[in-house]
Structure 1
Amino acid sequence: MEILLTIALFIAFFLLLRQEKALGKYAQSTTLFTQAVDKYQKAVDGYEEAIAGYREVIAKYQQETELFKQDITEYELLLKEHGIDKSKAEPTRQLTPPPPPQFTLPDLKAMRRQPSKPKAVSKNSPMYKEFLHLLNGNEETANRLIIRQQQLNPDKLDNWILEKVIGDLKRDRRA
């Protein structure tokens, strides 16, 4: 009876560890998702700022165009007051408002993020060889794990990436 109780406790403990590990991975993925949402919101905020700036430039252009039209009207009135024929006043210069500024803002929805190419980790380093040994020589898996860590931590150095993947692999094998 004690053996069955011990086995049942062992199974319960094992299931509890698996559940704790799953919760840890869920928390990590939630954190990554939250970071992605924050980055997206910053991009949207920047886009909205650019649109606001563009609208300010257009409004200023429209104000300047109105002032220019008023100046043309005043100029034509002065010509009339002094009896000067408009066609003889300045034959080489036409009075027209300047063309509107040409701005094109990118469409955020149409833009696709170009993934950055991860840096290659030196395959001659002892840490890489240790990592490869832990994976029984499976270079494909090693490269996939390294690339994923580089994507998650683009500002980290190669040694840090290797330490992280080796530590994660050893930790996961203990659990």
Structure 2
Amino acid sequence: MANSYAQPILRTADLGEALRVVRQLLELADTGGLEADLEAVARTPRELERLAEVVPGADWWADGSGRPGTSREGGAAADHLPVFLSAWCRPTHLAEPFLAAAGSAPAMVRWDFNGWPAAPDIGLDRGGPRGAYITLVAHASDLELDEPADAHTVFVHVKQVEAERAPWLAAQVGLQVIGELVMAPL
């Protein structure tokens, strides 16, 4: 399992504003190989149904320590609510429908791509794919979707040795970092 380091640059109650910032960041990036990883915690049968319509065949497991039930074991996700859904390497056009389907459920979209641009004014060359992600967390305040919130947070991911790239990226879209750089397991 690889790790990146993520730093929040926007927290807002307006999902549209968060998506606008994501689009601005993607305009800076080398989006070759662009794909999206989608995750959510479905707590009700209706949330599960809406999410499954957008990402049929998503992996799932019972959410919570020691609770039995996974898609690998078979059975119905609805019998194990709440469940954590995960669908990686999906087309990016699913991001907005996925977030809409999640409703008020904690959800996350991570955009993966080939790299960040060079930042010569801070001494950084073009970044490669390791550590080149943008994550939008909806209705949670953390990357693991453990802490429910009324807001949405945009994180930029960078290599730990290039931590100064995060504030540089935030400045490119008129923002600044608003929290600490944290390890983000992938």
The answer to whether the superposition gives a TM-score over 0.5 is no
More helix by share: 1
Relative contact order, higher structure (CA 8 A, sep 6+): 2
Q: TM-score range by the shorter chain?
A: under 0.3
Asked which structure has the greater CA Rg, the reply is 1
TM-score, structure 1 as length reference: 0.21
